[in-house]
Amino acid sequence: MIAALAAGLALSGPTVLVLPNPNASLIDVQAIVSVGTLTSHEQALAQVVRDTLLDATADFNEDDLRHYSALAGSAMRCTLSADHYRIELEMPKGQLDLAGQIMCDVLQHPRFDDSVIQAELQALPFRRRSYWSEALYSWNLDYSRINQPAVEAFFQRVFTPNATTIVISGPIGQLSDDPTSYWPRLANWNQPKPDWRKDYSGPTAPLSEHAFPITTAELYSSEYDGSDASFPLQLLVATALGAGKGSAMHRVLREQLALTYLQQAVVTPTANGFRTRLFLIHSPSGEDSSLCETARKALLEDVKSWSAETLERAIGMAQAYLLAGAEATPLYLDASSPLTQSPQDQAFLAGYWKEKTGNAWDARKLLGLMKQVTLGNLKSTAEKLLTDAQTRVIPGKT
């Protein structure tokens, strides 16, 4: 059982959250770096940083990082979402010092060797993502203006102490309230002066076609925030619409209309909040362009028939994924996968939610707020979401 020790200590530097768990076998250290709103050029830079950040640092070369990762049996990794980077390192018990040295060096002194960047730029246009990743991050980025100085400058702008939350969990014993006492390198990490240079790159080009013979169609909501007033209702609507086999999307789009095998609602982060996205995924057909409207119409019709049982099922499903770790969760808050009940993902969630909303993550409280939603409110919010939803179809390669 992870017991939160401190609410987090925000120095002028990064926020550090300490979650001792004596039952865990490994120390887990995660850095969550908020990226803010990115222009299209910056999105391309962000991808390059994600893929080259862990190549080498000032004090640790590639072999060193691979060797130290192997001590715990899992490689250090970096993922990028719409609003944050997540960098994770696991170390054996007793190696908190070494974990701090590595993580601080990654956050402050990555090497970004030109040869590594050039190799990455050559590989990127040919690198294939999964259709799911393409659907979630449906952009076509331009890497032609990227060079080593630009990568370095982007890193310096984004990876700042004030934008970073560090979560330390596992068998770490009692740690001082002052993180610099056990990780002295944090004391030398200063917030840079703001960079007022403007980036005039245009909007991000959308992906025109999947690299696979799979079409993804999406109805997506407008942005909403993570406050108690907004988030529980929106999450419950997403659950009613598309989480679990009793959801509207599964009952109507799959079982009744046999339109798709895979259909689900996900809640993903945006730069300033969250968005509900209803995905329909199927093999390409002549009806790709009308799929969203067919789905919208069918779901709106279904919402009219929602009853107390619908609300009950949605709340039951929320209980299943929030408290029992059921895999059919709509919460896709990090990269392309749903968060699990693993200690590592729960540690991430604790740090991310605090950074994103200013509040501590509390699944029971969230469920309690969801239970207060009335049927009328559920239906009207679902109707509004479906009526106002914008659409996006990425056809499959034929």
Partner 1 sequence: MRVASALLLCLAGSLVFAQEEPPRLRTLVPNGSILLVENMPAAKSVSVQLFASSRRVPDTPENHGYKHLLEHLVLKGHGKDLDLRMERQGIFFSGHTLRDAMQIVFTCLPEQIPTVLDALTEILQPLATTHEDIVKEVKIMREERALEDDSERLSAAAWNTAFGDRGMDPFGDPSLMEGAAPEDLVMFQSKLFAANNLVLVISGPVDIEKVTSLGKSFLAGCSGNCLDQSETRPEGEPGRTNLENAFGEARGARVPGIDDAKAAWGLAAALALASQLGDAFVTYTPSAQNALVIVGKTDENSGVGLKVDALTESDIAAMFPIGKALARRWLQRQMETPAGSANIRGLLLCEGASYKPEEMLDNINAMTWQQFAEGIALFKEKQADIVVGTR
Min dist CB 94 to partner 1, Å, is: 16
Buried b (16+ CB within 10 A) or exposed e, 195-229: eeeeeeeeebeebeebebebbbbbbbbeebebeee
Q: What is the dihedral of CA 178, 183, 185, 188, to 10 degrees?
A: 0
For partner 1, the closer of residues 104 and 317 by Cβ is 317
Helix then strand then coil, % of the chain, to nearest 5: 45, 20, 40
Whole-number minimum distance, CB 147 to partner 1, in Å?
Answer: 22
Nearer to partner 1, 34 or 340 (CB): 340
d(CA 41, CA 203): 9
Q: Which is nearer to partner 1, 184 or 316 (CB)?
A: 316
Nearer residue to partner 1 within complex by CB, 163 or 281:
281
Tokens encoding 93: 């018990």
The Cα–Cα gap between 224 and 221 comes to 9
Q: Which residues bind partner 1 (CB under 8 A)?
A: 1, 23, 25, 66-67, 70-75, 126-128, 130-131, 211-214, 244-246, 250, 254, 258, 260-262, 281-283, 309, 312-313, 316-317, 319-321, 323-328, 341-342
To partner 1, the closest distance from the beta carbon of 279 in angstroms equals: 12
CB of 324 to partner 1, least distance (A): 4
The order of strands in the sheet holding 262-269 is 262-269, 274-282, 215-220, 390-394
Q: Which is nearer to partner 1, 5 or 363 (CB)?
A: 363
Give the nearer residue to partner 1 in terms of CB position, either 143 or 212: 212
Distances 363 to 246, 268, 273, 324, 326 between C-alpha atoms, Å: 22, 17, 18, 10, 13
Amino acid identity of 109?
A: H
Query: To the nearest whole angstrom, how small is the minimum distance from the Cβ of residue 345 to partner 1?
Result: 11
Contact 382, 197 (CB under 8 A): no
Nearest distance in Å: CB 95, partner 1: 13
Instruction: Check if the beta carbon of residue 63 is closer than 8 Å to that of residue 130.
Output: no
CB of 281 to partner 1, least distance (A): 6
Alpha-carbon torsion (232, 39, 109, 81), positive or negative: positive
Rounded to whole angstroms, the Cα distance separating 77 from 269 reads 20
Minimum CB distance to partner 1 smaller for 75 or for 175:
75
Which uninterrupted H or E stretch holds 84?
strand 84-92
Residue (185 or 251) nearer to partner 1, CB: 251
Q: Which amino acid is at 195?
A: D
As a whole number of angstroms, the distance between CA 54 and CA 48 comes to 11
Least Å distance, CB 130 to partner 1, is 6
Our CB check for partner 1 shows the closer of 67 and 365 to be 67
